[in-house]
Amino acid sequence: MLEKDSFVPTHGDYVEAGDTSFPILGKGTRVIRKIMNGPSGPKTQSLTLSEVVVVEGFYTNIVSEALLRTSGAWYSGFDCSLRWGTPRESVVLIQLQRKYNVLILQLKLVSAYSPIDHPILENVIPISNEVVLWRDGASVMHFFASRAWRSSRDTRRPRDDCEALWHLRSGHLGKEALQKLVYHARNVRINGTARINCETCARTYATQVISRRQPDERAPRPFWRVHWDLQEYEPGYNGSCYLLIIKDEYSGWLYAIPLASKKGSVVFNALFQFERWVKRQFGLVICKLRSDNEPAVIHASGNTDFLRWVRFEGIDVELAPPHTKEPNGGSERAGKEVSEKSNAMLNGAQLPHSLWPESTQTSAFLLNISPKATKGWQSPIEVLQNWFRREAPLQIREHTADLRPDWSGVHAYGCRAYPLDRDREAGTHRKAFKTSPRGHIGYLVGYIAHNIYRIWIPRLEKVVVTRNVRFNEHIFYKPDKERSEELPERVFKSWILNLDEDDDEVDLPERPI
């Protein structure tokens, strides 16, 4: 533990170990009490270390022996000790032990989880001039496994898969951003893949030109200026015909809302709910709304529900000049990003284009957790939470100390999914379980949370929300083969799945993603 009031937070720094990176949370002063010999006898002197870097998830403390040497302490390999003074006249500060080819200050056995006495190394000093390691009281470096990993309780293991599979999981992310994903996301182990190697990306992004112009006045905090734009699509599977794109200028965070129409009341209601959501979830108010001249909510007379509302709330409306979209480039570019990523995912997975209400929301979700060059290769969600860590630390809970997005629950878009059917989830019609199929054949089309998914089931022509699902990331939707691979019809009418009363049926998603 650091000394009280000595911790100073830092931002954007990382420590790399092997193929994993760990975020540096801050610096402070650490005192290891009564560990050294002193004038009053053995183990009566404390060791004080300044500029100690706090590294999230790194379970062994490390000190440079070169820095110890500058203060007068040095390692003697002759008798395995840490000494003070000159080689001719010195005193022993700490007597070390040699175990497992390393030098140890203290040796303890693991807890009762282990059936045998595997040792734990703590306060270790390797035989080199580079590092000194010790235990900080709460964290222990386990050099041997203390118990079996439990899939239902322990943190998910990082998935070490090929770059092509991670390319699909990330929604066809580009080469450089995919390489940065290793350092700016949790539970990711990959190497970059060239976009030109992906035929879907080569077609989708062939004519993309990115504008580098910056606005005159940047937003000073999250949700100070919000861009929004309305895009028209072909009718989707759920009746949606329009997509409302909302973008936070500060972090680049995106919000995609499919709408059934572009009536003023529908668009205004979506914007109103978003403003209330920001205020409730983050305690922030929107100061400026930037958009083009959308006639559904913008009228020269000023007599619309939207304009009356922004006047009442004191929100400035920044409009683009007529017949131009450049001043509203933030939402226009965001909309293009979302639509192109959505097209790449649908085309790559060979899914029907009527599923665009799902793919666009998933596109926004993946963009929010993907590193961006304009944000120093941080993801929009990490930029957002880093601001709260600096300005409003109460918003960040202890379990979110590592603010990098967690990719452990992200799978290849459109891959085969096997959701458990409704009867088995509810535990009803148990007699039929021995002879009935356990689930449906579906395909991943979206996310609700890190372990709750949106699955499109072609046979039911519905999208269901479920947590009980297994994925096969090597099989994707093929319309010509789908009917032959479907589950057989159930012939026992007494336990047939009631499709009309499926609790997991989803109509129009109106959630932040």
- Here the CATH number for the domain that contains residue 318 is 3.30.420.10
Domain-embedded: residue 407: no
Name the residue range of residue 124's domain.
Answer: 61-146
The region that residue 45 occupies, defined by phi over 0 for left and psi between -120 and 50 for alpha, beta otherwise, is beta
Q: What is the pLDDT along the chain (513 residues), one digit of tens a residue?
A: 678 788 888 876 777 776 566 778 888 888 888 888 888 888 888 888 888 888 866 666 677 777 778 888 888 887 888 888 888 888 888 887 777 666 676 554 433 333 333 333 333 333 333 333 433 333 333 333 344 555 555 556 667 677 788 788 888 888 788 777 777 787 777 654 444 467 777 767 665 544 445 555 788 999 999 999 999 999 999 999 999 999 999 999 999 999 999 999 999 999 999 999 999 988 999 999 998 888 778 877 778 899 999 999 999 999 876 655 555 556 677 888 999 999 999 999 999 999 999 999 999 999 999 998 888 889 999 999 888 887 865 555 544 567 888 898 999 999 999 988 655 555 555 544 444 445 688 999 999 988 899 999 998 889 999 998 999 999 999 887 765 555 444 433 333 334 344 444 444 444 444
Residue 108 sits in the same domain as residue 244:
no
Distance between CA atoms of residues 445 and 357, nearest Å: 10
Domain-embedded: residue 509: no
Tally of structural domains, the chain: 4
Residue 221 sits in the same domain as residue 363:
yes
Residue 6 sits in the same domain as residue 84:
no
Residue 184 sits in the same domain as residue 300:
yes
**pLDDT score of 77:** 80
**pLDDT score of 131:** 35
Distance between CA atoms of residues 408 and 429, nearest Å: 34
**pLDDT score of 323:** 56
- Taking the complete model, does pTM exceed 0.95, yes or no? no
**pLDDT score of 214:** 52
Q: Give the C-alpha distances (Å, rounded to integers) separating 62 from 32, 101, 136, 425.
A: 13, 18, 10, 49
Domain-embedded: residue 408: no
User: DSSP assignment, residue 300?
Assistant: T
Distance between CA atoms of residues 57 and 447, nearest Å: 27
Q: Give the C-alpha distances (Å, rounded to integers) separating 282 from 127, 224, 303.
A: 50, 12, 30
**pLDDT score of 135:** 35
Domain-embedded: residue 384: yes
Q: Residue 230 has which token pair?
A: 């309305």
Residue 249 sits in the same domain as residue 347:
yes
360, HSE (Cβ side, Cα atoms, 13 Å): 29
Q: Residue 479 has which token pair?
A: 């319309």
Residue 52 sits in the same domain as residue 65:
no
Domain-embedded: residue 513: no
Q: Are 307 and 293 in contact (CB under 8 A)?
A: no
User: Which residue's structure tokens are 């009631």?
Assistant: 498
Q: Residue 135 has which token pair?
A: 């235990």
User: DSSP assignment, residue 421?
Assistant: P
Residue 451 sits in the same domain as residue 464:
yes
Supply φ then ψ for residue 3, to 5 degrees: -65, 150
Domain-embedded: residue 152: no
Residue 320 sits in the same domain as residue 223:
yes
Q: How far is CA 134 from the centre of its chain?
A: 31
Which residues, 6+ apart, have CB-to-CB distance to 116 below 8 Å? Answer: none
Which residues, 6+ apart, have CB-to-CB distance to 375 below 8 Å? Answer: 251, 252, 383
Domain-embedded: residue 511: no
Residue 128 sits in the same domain as residue 202:
no
Which residues lie across from 505 on neighbouring strands? Answer: 464
Residue of 168, 175, 286, 292 lying closest to 222 (CA atoms): 286
**pLDDT score of 132:** 39
Residue 5 sits in the same domain as residue 105:
no
Residue 295 sits in the same domain as residue 176:
yes
Q: Residue 180 has which token pair?
A: 């940065």
Residue 283 sits in the same domain as residue 366:
yes
Q: Are strands 97-99 and 14-17 parallel, antiparallel or unpaired?
A: unpaired
Residues in the chain: 513
Map residue 139 onto helix, strand or coil.
coil
Domain-embedded: residue 512: no
